[in-house]
Structure 1
Amino acid sequence: MSRRAQPAHTPYDGTATPFTIGLKPLDLVRWLEIDGDYEAYLAEKRRLFDTAPATVFAEEPETRAAQHEVLALVRDGLAAGFPALFPGTRQWEAALAAMERESDTDAPPLKTASLLVQEDLVLMRKGEAGWRLAAASLCFPSSWTLTEKFGRPIEDIHATVPGFGRGTRTAGLINRIFDNLKVEQPVERLNWSLQDDDDLHKPLSKTTRDARREREAAHSTGDDPLLRSFIRVERQTLRKLPVSGDILFTIRIFLDPMRILAAHPDRAALAGSLAAQLAALDAAQLAYKGLAADRERLVAALQKLAAA
């Protein structure tokens, strides 16, 4: 999928720790990211909306006003952040035409906004049970499904993440972060995982994920894990909407073949750090990431690359 010669983000370099919140201030000039895969991402989104719309979009009817807020932010963000591309380019004119068609059919504004950017867009709304997932355009999930999580509060959304479920200290901290987020102080974070293909759409349900874990050892192969592995980086941002008070959660997926590290000028440091982070994962964390079967082989291969 990626046309990049080097990774866009490397949270495995020691600047972030797996299974921690790790938020930092977000520069709104960098809120959205566009790269050479822009048209490919949007084409895949359109394909998913055409073939499996119920799996990639959901909304509570009362969120339409907040969705319009998101669409306005996205349009303004593109024009401000990428003046050479938006407006005035073929992509922008096509997007405007698409928005006009969508408006004629009363399409959800969140869907329209999603078809302008490579990010997925999720609306979180505060209710009696806390912050819940109230609307989402989610084409590129990382081992979860929108149908599993829609309408559920943060604690239940994170129930399968080690150390993040209901009753944990981290769950309480996340709720406080959402409660205290300011319009003028958006934040971002990065995390990573590994996969054995370059699919952006990875909607594994809990049932499927558990079954996969049971089969892991039996499906381990003897080939070089670096040749068939991809690094999946998530860049997540949180912005409080000024009118509705909802929180917009964006998720941007970056997929890089593991072998891209071999050509990186800091390959020794990156490969060594990734190996160390893999080695440090406990059993629950390995199972969540689906790496229990391959961990030792990946660590060995990365250490070899670091020493090359």
Structure 2
Amino acid sequence: MPRHTPYDGSTKPFTIALKTLDPNEWIELGADLETCLAEKDRLYAAVPDKVFVEEAGTRAAQQEVLDMLVPYLAGRFPGTYRRSDTGIEILGTGRHVATDSTELPPLRTASLLVPEDLILMRGSKDGWRLVAGSLCFPSSWSLGEKFGHTLQDIHEPVPAFGPGTRTAGMIQRIFDNLLVDQPVQRFNWSLQAGNVLFLPFSQQQRIDRATNRPSKFSDDELAAQAFIRVERQTLRRLPNSRDILFTIRIYLDPLAVLSRHPDRASIAASFASQLAALDLAQLDYKGLTADRDRLVAVLGKMATTT
């Protein structure tokens, strides 16, 4: 069953909807840990410049992330992580990550331990900027295009989140006022064809998609193709550098799995209602303009089938 269902009516799409986060629940593991780590290995080997960036002067903050993550993982998940003299073992996977390596950037080393993507944000006179990041599982955005940009510029394509909007100002204040001992989390959802984790998307591709509005799905049974892509995002201020670490955890659930959920009727009905309520700009952003009505119909059938 899906671990998180933010489309169940508990939050509204295109809202900030932050919730406090118990620091003990910072990282989430699941049966997909090795799948995620193997895909990170593949991407680092095949397209390293597309999945990792760093500015000069960020290594100390990157190291701070790694130094926080290693004891947390060993303490929170002792059945999965075991510390050694040179690093940390990921039990059951045959993996040993050398945490004392001077060859790799510390944030990249940290990314090899967890399923989450790790983005480092730093305050400046222009606002909070993306100064380093490991992004192996982007949900339709490009790390290279966002690198060095401010929060407002990063959110420019998002309806009601771009520069000058009320929401952009709220996000800025959230970052400014985030406390070390009060991390927060939020969720996003989208729908895609297939279960691919690496979904980079350039701004030009986004413009082209909004102009042409192609279908994501073939004419075959939609429920068999569609996957729900849930993003669990956390924000945590680092105590020494005062930078903010933004983590993104991706879950991919077949849409068809909702038909077996014990709360199938209410979840499917809420999901259908949220899709039906999206305006054209929001549908274009999610790439669902051509498919919304078909998806609503599938979910409506799930909600009413006994």
Is 2:285 aligned against 1:283? no
Q: Report if aligned partners of 1:63, 1:135 keep a CA contact under 8 Å in 2.
A: yes
Q: How far apart are 1:73 and its partner, in Å?
A: 1.4
CA distance in 2, matches of 1:70, 1:99: 11
Distance 1:252 1:180 in 2: 23
The one-letter code sitting in structure 1 at the alignment partner of 2:292 is R
Of 24, 28, 32, 2:23 maps to: 28
Amino acid at match of 1:75: V
| Aligned residue in 2 for 1:87 | 82
1:307 is displaced (CA, Å) by: 0.2
Question: Superposition pairs for residues 137-216 of structure 1, below 5 Å?
Answer: 137-216=134-213
Matches within 5 A, 1:65-84: 65-84=60-79
Asked if 1:271 corresponds to 2:277, the answer is: no
3-state SS, counterpart of residue 62 of structure 1 = coil
Deviation at 1:217, TM superposition (A): 4.5
State how far apart, in whole Å, the 2-side matches of 1:219 and 1:193 are.
Answer: 12
Aligned partner of 1:57 in structure 2 is 52
1:259 matches 2:256 = yes
User: Could you tell me whether the CA contact under 8 Å between 2:235 and 2:247 is conserved in 1?
Assistant: yes
Give the Cα–Cα distance (whole angstroms) in 2 for the partners of residues 307 and 157 of structure 1.
40
Paired residue type of 2:235: L
Contact 2:51–2:136 (CA<8 Å) still a contact in 1? yes
Q: Percent identity?
A: 56
Count of residues in correspondence between the two structures: 300
- 1:276-298 alpha-carbon deviations (Å, 9 max, x no partner): 00000000000000000000011
Alpha-carbon contact 1:155-1:164 (below 8 Å) kept: yes
Distance across 2 between alignment mates of 1:219 and 1:226: 12
Q: Residues 196 and 167 from structure 1, CA distance in 2 versus in 1: closer, same or farther, beyond 3 angstroms? A: same
Q: Secondary structure at the match of 1:253?
A: strand
Of 254-263 and 84-93, more deviation after overlay is shown by 84-93
Does the Cα contact within 8 Å between 1:32 and 1:81 map onto a contact in 2? no
Cα deviations by residue, 1:223-276 (Å, 9 ceiling, x for unpaired): 332121100000000000000000000000000010010111111111111000
Q: CA deviation at 1:301?
A: 1.0
Task: Show CA shifts across 1:33-54 (max 9, x none).
Answer: 1111101100000110011000
- Supply the AA of the counterpart residue of 1:191: N
Please report how far the alpha carbon of residue 214 of structure 1 lies from its aligned counterpart in structure 2 after TM superposition. 3.4
66 and 283 in structure 1: CA distance in 2 versus 1, 3 angstrom threshold: same
Does residue 238 in structure 1 map to residue 245 in structure 2? no
Q: Partner of 1:307 in structure 2?
A: 304
One-letter identity of the residue aligned with 2:147 = F
**Pick aligned residue for 1:48 from 43, 48, 54:** 43
Provide the secondary structure at the position in 1 that maps to 2:81: coil
SS at match of 1:32: coil
Which residue of the partner structure matches residue 10 of structure 1? 5
Deviations 1:181-228 (A, max 9, x none): 000110000110000111100001111122233343577643332121
Other structure's SS at 1:237 match: strand
TM-score, normalization: structure 2?
A: 0.94
Preserved contact between residue 196 and residue 228 of structure 1 (Cα < 8 Å): yes
Query: How well do the aligned residues superpose, as a CA RMSD in angstroms?
Result: 1.6
Greater helix proportion: 1
Look up the match of 1:227: 224
Q: Match for residue 99 of structure 1?
A: 99
SS of the aligned residue for 1:87 comes to strand
**Uncovered stretches (5+) of structure 2, i.e. residues with no partner:** none
Question: What SS does the corresponding residue of 1:195 show, helix, strand or coil?
Answer: strand
2:231 aligned counterpart, secondary structure: strand
CA distance in 2, matches of 1:275, 1:218: 18
C-alpha distance in structure 2 between counterparts of 1:221 and 1:197, whole Å: 11
Conserved 8 A contact 2:215-2:288: no
Residue pair 2:89, 2:97 contacting (<8 A) in 1 also = no
Runs (5+) with no aligned partner, structure 1 = 1-5
Deviations 1:81-129 (A, max 9, x none): 21222216952595544435xx142x10000000000000000000110
**Residues 220, 293 of structure 1: 8 Å contact kept:** no
Indicate conservation of the 8 Å contact 2:193/2:217, yes or no: no
Conserved in 2, the CA contact under 8 Å of 1:125 and 1:131? yes
Give, in whole Å, the separation in 1 of the partners of 2:217 and 2:26. 39
**What is the one-letter code of the residue matched to 1:283?**
L
